[in-house]
Amino acid sequence: MASGSGAAPRTPVGTGAPRCSEWERVFRQSRVVPPHGRRRRVPPAHPAAFCCVLKHLEGAALNQGAEYQLRFSLFDATYHHFFGRTWRSSLRVAHAAPSCLAKAVFNETIYFHTSLNHPGIAAVVEVVARTKKEDGSSQHLSCGFGVIPLFGSGLEVKDLATKDRVLKLYHGTPRALLHPRFQEPMEKNKYLTVMEKSHLQYTLKPHQPLEMIFHLLPENLPVSGLQNIPGLLPVCRDMSGCLQKPQLMKPVTCYLERLSVCLYPSLEEFEEELLDLLNSDRLLQANAAPDGDGMVVRERRLHVGVHNGLCFVQAPQVAVLVPEAEAARGGCTGVPSSGARDAGQALVLRSRIHLSEMVPHPAFGICFQLEYVFCSVGRAGGKALAGGARSEAADMRSVRWAVWSPELGAGEADVVLPLRGGAHRGPCQTLVYRAPPGSRSSRKGKHTESGTVQFHVSTGSEEHVVTAAELLCKDRDELKKPPTPSPSLAALPTTVASPRGPGLSVSQLSVSPPRAGGRSLVPQGRGSRQDGGITHLEADLNLPDLEHCTGDQLQALPFTPLQVPIAAVGLQAGSSRTVLSRASLARLHSAGFPEILDRNQEPVEISEPADPASFSLQLEEADPLQGNEIILQFLAFGRDAQGNVEWTWPRTIFLTFQFYRFPPVTTPRLQLVSMEGGPGSGLAVLAQLLVRVNKDGTPSTGLPGLQLKYMVDPAFLRAGEQRWFLRYLAEHSLQIDIWDGDSLLLVGSAAVKLEPLLRQGRAAVRTHHELEVATTEYEPDATVMGQEALRHGALRPLGVRVVVRGHLHLCLANVGHPCEDTPGQLPSPLLSRSRIVPMPDGAGNIPAGSWVSLNTASGGRVSRARRLVDVDGELAAALHSRWPEARVVPSAAPSEAAAARRRKLRRMALVRQQEDAGGGRTPQLTQGWPEQRARHMRDLQIIDAYREHTKGESISRMLSQAITVTRTVHAVLGTAEFFEFTLKNPYGIQHTVTIEVDHPELSVILDPREWRHFKELTKSVTPVEEEMFHLRDDLKPQVYLRPNETVRIPFKYQTFSADPAVVAAQGPAGLGAGAGTAIHSLGKSGAGRTKHIQVSFQVSGGKPIALLRVQVEPQPHVVDQTFRFYHPELTFLKKTIRLPPWHTLPGTPVGMQGGEPEMYVRCSDPDIICETKTMGPGEPQDIFLKAAGGPSPQIKKFFVAIYTDPWLAAPIQIWQFYLHSLQRLDVSCTTGQLTRLSLLLRGTPAPRRVQAFASHPQELEVDPDGAFLLPANGIQDLYVGVRPRRAGSRFIYLNLVDVESHQLVSSWLLCLACRQPLISKAFEISLPAGGGRGCNKRITYTNPYPSPRLYFLCTNRPDLLQFKEDSFEVAGGEVYTIGLRFAPSQSTGEEEILIHINDHEDKNEETFCVKVLYQ
């Protein structure tokens, strides 16, 4: 045991027996019975905290002058099992007044908490009397017991009232509850007899303040209010104790560095003997003979945590130890010197440990547990089997442990602790390995079962900590002896999340953990003694739960996906930068692009984007030019200056994007043409013009570039949408995808901020942007698997490579236009900000469509009646269908002026027709009058029947409209829209109002904390009422209203479903006929996406007293990052994305309290699993995605919203994901060697002329390499040759494209696993950097065969090395000189160039390596 509290910190410990520390004294006095095994299988709920006061005992069974004691225990009636620890009160003397029963006053307060919220969980109180024997010694006798239920039938806390209760007592001891015939309820149990005229008075109530010390006090451990809990400030003069209002001591941060573990006699001999014993145990359990298999060490771990003598304050950190020799080879810094160890036989930690939960208290200690992970090996190759092949062979064993209690007031120190093993109770509650006596290790020295752990400790605070010790000594003097023994370690606190620290190793992702939910899966060891007295509750403490050990189900780690996390490296909108020279920009702008003119037909000058801080929303709203003509002009596409050679520069491209809520755009194919007029294909051309392509494939002779216009006029916008459009321009960015027009492969993506389109009072603005077009490549998970993948602080982009493909040149312009005021617009933008929806008063509510309402200058309102046929379209259709001259059915509700004008025109046309027929004579008015009268009579009969038929419905509709209020909500994906509805009881009696909502996205806020949170966000000043709503059995909320009372009902609308127009994935499926449309108008096309939600407020009988009609207008959302994954078809994509530090995310609040917040995620697709969990303070957070892919070549698009507040009010970021489903083909190959394979092509119902395109044509060859005919419903082979240039795992994409319609027929994902060839010779040369003419060199090759052979040459860097001849033939045994030409490099550095010499079958014969130093 460590003795840091007894010796100097720099004195090595282990020579002699250390004195007992305060931690060890508290730990030895603690012992806890765990709950029943079946209870431990159930996931723990949130613990419930209790405060129980045992006041006085009174009854006829008490004797005058006798001493009595109360004992408090927890009992599980379902499984007849006592658990926890028995609490004992102090002895009290019973006194009896004249003509009164004897009474013993206790007034003892007990605190405890438990997560076993089941009706069968109860507290048992036992009455014990102390009597004297004949020899003068004392003994304890049980006088009776009572049972206090803790939870009701609904799993709620039983009896929340704080008044005194009477507990009736039963004869006998609590052992009667263990009888097999004992059954609930106890009142009907014939084996229990009630003690007449005897009872215990007590109170039981929840104790909320106890929740703040759940990490210091284990579950199911009753403690006294006067007992000192390590980590709490003691309260000396308050009889209620320190647990009434707990106050935590201030923590001190500790750092452990240069940590190493030595095992004796040596690390090699210790592990060898341990493996032999484990293998023998394996054969013994299997009852088998030696089979040649064995065990190997897969990993060595060290669990480090802070323990207060009762429990771990936080879950122990898990660190991976490596042998010192391996750490030295890796060149790790911070490894302690081996001078103090024997020949380097030590395990070292390559990072430091940060403990922020340490408290300057004598009972606090740092616990170390050494754990080994083993796995089986087969006899074939002597190598460990993979975890997926034989995962049951993996095993974890604890071998040593130690505890160190820091000396109070000490600073930095070098500490050496002895390790312990064997049948000693440790803080981790696991069985620990002990070498048997007489083994070979016992002959090597005296340190048979020990070893040492040494480290350097330092603190982050130098505060003096003697005050805690003085308080502890003072409490000991005053209390002398606490009435309750110190509690023990029962379980880890359930509030602690998954472990933190240096991180989990890879083996922990596939091996079952040693503990789950804070409870050990290994039974406690035997050998601890029982105390005297009545100890029936601790009788099974040292007996393992056989059912739990043999049949219990292992629980997985809380969140340990098998995927190694990748960094969140996606497409982000950044500021544009200029790469072209000034002369190139001048040639670009003089290429003859269409001129952008303002409303006065004057050219708009190019200006620099304004400072974002100068944006003013009020200035935009006050602009008289409210109409916006948005112009996107795509000018040119240029190659990146670095010149990536792994892919072919496209000949044609097309773009896909979506602006605001306009339909998604797929542009026509645009050919890249150099500024001189010819097609651009050279490396030296940095910018090529975009020119339309004719139907025959030739470039258009018109003006270059592509110009798109968007007309955004407030006259065509919905009510209140103008403000949202301005907000869209201010906050959003336009995501643009660039595709190869021939191969339909993604070239890259770009993003431009739309804020420069805000005119800020100007007539027109125009800006030029040069955007980086980049693509993100994700390598297979197998390439980054390893121990370094999950190391602490590993935030580098594992398996992610961002490649800049080129630069896109475009102009953004906004031309202002005047517009007339429209009735649909709100009179003031402030109305849209109101969060309170008033209830209608019923006065002046006229049904829409029945009257024409005019606002007069005096403020009054005049309503004019309208013809019924002009109001009801159904009636108009019924009447006009009987008229033979009627051809056009009138609209549902035309305006009065238009209807009058049509009637006049109809009469004038009829008069002219009659004049022409009668030769200019006036027609006889009486002609045809009976027929017309009969027709009018029939029409009146139809109108009368129609009115009688619709009278009830019309009256009901008018009454509903009188109590209906409409609220418009502009919904954004993931953002909660909060408002309050003013509800008034119109009756003179009280009513219980039921709220019914017909859509799940609109809900009533029931939690007052959530209500208060949204009011703080929206700056609302209305009050918040606690416990306002009651939930019915059908989960419909109800609110109680007094006569004529008015309340405010909080509502929240939040949707995680993206708009179908937005979710429509834009990709290379094909080019539509309407792709070349240049002008887009935003009419009422978006009105179809408007959603209407009805909310009914009903009293008894289903009568509504108010109706709320919520009109939801979807709005575009911000896309902060874009991710694009290519995955095999019909399989699940499983990715873990590591979030960057939360304070670096845009949109996070400044100065958030409580340190790092917890992240929350939601996905727009309900069929996609998306979750994240906290890994502990200081640890990175990961987002886990699991999405099902469709058939090839389907593209799935979804969004993920990230939050930092638990109420999910507004996301701080929204990520966009594309999932491309492709046909998978695994290829195993060697670098520089051609690997051949074939693909089976299946024809479509129609014959097509197709061509295969590869994403890396330099490494992938196809045959046929040109266009060929794919017959209808036929089968044809496509031959593929793969020659990779670099080793490792990577992806190559292959598309089969219809060259006539430019549609994607099929797509493949080639997963390459490339091996590095054997290097036979190595050379090294030095070349100057920064230009020049290059260098010529020669090397020789000898034909090892006796016959002539033909050889072919290839290299992995054709941009840096060219051969004089690509092939040569040499006679047997002859020497051939190979001519090399090294190209100059523009930058300094070191490059390794491989020269592959292949035979006539393109198989690799030899590989030379040339290391080139560019200086």
- Measuring CA to CA, which residue among 839, 841, 865, 869 is closest to residue 852? 865
| Helix residue ranges, H only, 1042-1117 | 1060-1063
Residue 710 · residue 1082 · CB < 8 Å: yes
Mean pLDDT of 74-87: 89
How does DSSP assign 1199-1255, residue by residue? Answer: EEEEESSTT--S-SEEEEEEEEEEEEEEEEEETTS-EEEEEEEE--SS-EEEEEEES
Q: Which residues pair with 1203 in a beta bridge?
A: 1160
Position 909, amino acid:
A
**What contacts 821, CB < 8 A, 6 or more positions away?**
none
Of 313-322, 546-555, 809-818, 1270-1279, the poorest mean pLDDT is in 546-555
pLDDT: is 753 or 1119 the higher one?
A: 753
Residue 742 has pLDDT above 50, yes or no: yes
SS3 511: coil
Whether pLDDT at 786 is above 50: no
The region of weakest confidence among 97-106, 217-226, 447-456 is 447-456
Look up residue 50 and give its two tokens.
């209790």
552 vs 41: CA distance, rounded Å = 7
pLDDT at 714 over 90: no
Structure confidence at residue 378 (pLDDT): 63
Looking at every residue in the chain, the average pLDDT score rounds to: 75
Q: Who contacts 603 (Cβ-Cβ below 8 Å, separation ≥6)? A: 595, 596, 597
Query: Comparing 247-251, 542-546, 1211-1215, which segment has the lowest mean pLDDT?
Result: 542-546
Q: Which amino acid is at 887?
A: R
Question: In whole angstroms, what is the distance from residue 796 CA to residue 784 CA?
Answer: 11
Q: Which has the higher per-residue pLDDT, 806 or 156?
A: 806
Please report which helix (H) or strand (E) contains residue 472, including its range: helix 466-479
Q: What is the pLDDT of residues 145-171, one digit of tens each?
A: 999 988 875 555 655 556 788 898 998
The DSSP call for residue 483 is: S
Q: How many residues does the chain have?
A: 1415
- What is the distance between the alpha carbons of residues 571 and 1120, in angstroms, rounded to a whole number? 8
Q: Which residue has the higher pLDDT, 1255 or 573?
A: 1255
pLDDT at residue 1087 greater than cutoff 60? no
pLDDT at 14 over 50: no
d(CA 505, CA 319): 8
Q: What is the pLDDT of residue 261?
A: 92
pLDDT of amino acid 38:
79
Contact 1346, 1263 (CB under 8 A): no
**Contact indicator for 222, 204 with CB cutoff of 8 Å:** no
Is 452 within 8 Å of 2 (Cβ atoms)? no
Token pair listed for 965: 């209020």
> In angstroms, what CA-CA distances link 1375 with 796, 1344, 1386, 1404, 1407?
48, 9, 35, 18, 16
Peptide bond into 185 cis (omega under 30): yes
Structure confidence at residue 980 (pLDDT): 92
**Residue 345: C-alpha distances to residues 339, 420, 526 (Å):** 11, 18, 32
Q: Which pair of structure tokens corresponds to residue 376?
A: 């089986």
Where residue 781 falls among pLDDT bands split at 50, 70, 90? low
Q: What is the pLDDT of residue 1154?
A: 47
- Going by C-alpha positions, the residue among 601, 640, 848 that lies closest to residue 750 is 640
CB atoms near residue 789 (< 10 Å) = 20
Distance CA 627, CA 630 (A): 10
Burial grade of 437 (CB within 10 A; 0-12, 13-18, 19 or more) = exposed
Q: Report whether pLDDT(139) > 60.
A: yes
What mean pLDDT comes out for the span 835-851? 49
DSSP secondary structure code for residue 489 in this structure: -
512-558 pLDDT tens trace: 333 333 333 333 333 333 333 333 333 333 334 433 333 445 554 44
State the Cα–Cα distance between residues 736 and 657, nearest whole angstrom: 5
pLDDT in tens, 692-701: 988 887 888 8
* Closest by Cα among 1053, 33, 1256 to 540: 33
For residue 588, give the DSSP letter.
H
- How far, in Å, CA of 1067 to CA of 1195, rounded? 7
Can you give the pLDDT at residue 606?
A: 84
The predicted structure's pLDDT at residue 577: 58
Can you tell me the distance from the alpha carbon of 751 to that of 686, in angstroms, rounded to the nearest whole number?
A: 20
Q: How far apart are CA 1342 and CA 1371, in angstroms?
A: 9
Give the separation between CA 788 and CA 778, rounded to whole angstroms: 18
Residue 1254: pLDDT over 60: yes
DSSP code of residue 880: H
Q: Of the ranges 256-265, 681-690, 940-949, which one carries the lowest mean pLDDT score?
A: 681-690
pLDDT at residue 482, rounded to an integer: 39
Distance of CA 249 to the CA centre of its chain: 34
Q: Residue 1120 pLDDT > 90, yes or no? A: no
Examine residue 427 and say whether the peptide bond preceding it is cis (omega within 30 degrees of 0). no
Token readout for 697 is: 């494939």
CA-to-CA distance for 1298 and 930, rounded, in angstroms? 71
478 contacts: CB under 8 Å, gap ≥ 6: 236
Asked if 872 and 953 touch (Cβ cutoff 8 Å), the reply is: no
**Cα maximum dimension of the chain:** 148
Alpha-helix runs per DSSP H in 679-752 = 721-731
Query: Residue 601: its pLDDT value, please?
Result: 87
Choose between 1061 and 218: higher pLDDT: 218
State how far the Cα of 239 lies from the Cα of 156, in Å rounded to an integer: 30
User: What does residue 832 show for φ and ψ, rounded to 5 degrees?
Assistant: -70, -15
Which residue is listed with tokens 């090892």?
1344
Cα separation, 615 vs 617, in Å, equals: 7
Name the pLDDT band for 368 (thresholds 50, 70, 90).
very high
Q: Give strand ranges (E) for 882-1041.
A: 964-972, 977-984, 991-997, 1002-1004, 1029-1031, 1037-1041
Choose between 483 and 336: higher pLDDT: 336
Distance of CA 1196 to the CA centre of its chain: 19
Phi, psi dihedral angles at 547 (to 5 degrees) = -65, -35
Q: Where are the alpha helices (DSSP H) in 1007-1110?
A: 1008-1018, 1060-1063
- Closest by CA to 810, choosing from 1077, 632, 582, is 632
The two three-digit tokens of residue 1307, written as one number: 């797509």
pLDDT digits (tens, 9 = 90+) for 849-900: 333 333 333 444 455 666 666 666 666 666 665 544 434 344 444 455 667 7
Side-chain half-sphere CA neighbours of 693 within 13 A: 20
**Range 260-279 average pLDDT:** 88
pLDDT over 80 (residue 1144):
no
Confidence of residue 602 (pLDDT cuts 50, 70, 90): confident
For residue 106, the one-letter residue type is F
> DSSP letters of 675-716?
TTSSBP-STT---EEEEEB-TTSPBPSS-SSEEEEEEE-TTT
- Of residues 1067 and 1375, more confidence is placed in 1375
Give the mean model confidence (pLDDT) for residues 420-426: 78
Of residues 1206 and 426, more confidence is placed in: 1206
Q: What is the pLDDT of residue 227?
A: 83
Return the closest-CA partner of residue 758 out of 810, 822, 818, 812: 812
Q: What is the pLDDT of residue 487?
A: 36
pLDDT over 70 at 222, yes or no:
yes
Q: What is the 3-state secondary structure of 81-115?
A: EEEEEEEECCCEECECCCCCCEEEEEEEEEEEEEC
* pLDDT at residue 141 greater than cutoff 70: yes
> Higher pLDDT residue, 700 or 1078?
700
1181-1204 pLDDT per residue, tens:
888 899 999 888 788 999 999 998
As a whole number of angstroms, the distance between CA 552 and CA 38 comes to 8
CA distance readout (Å), 257 to 335, 349, 368: 9, 8, 14
* Percent of the chain topping pLDDT 90: 18
Average pLDDT over residues 113-137: 87
Contact 253, 354 (CB under 8 A): yes
- Residue 117 near residue 155 (C-beta atoms within 8 A): yes
Q: pLDDT-derived band of residue 1064, with 50, 70 and 90 as boundaries?
A: low
pLDDT at 1306 over 80: yes
Res 433: pLDDT? 80
Q: Within a 13 Å sphere around the CA of 1287, how many CA atoms are in the beta-carbon half?
A: 8
pLDDT at 31 over 50: yes
pLDDT at 976: 93
Query: Which residues are 261's β-sheet partners?
Result: 347, 453
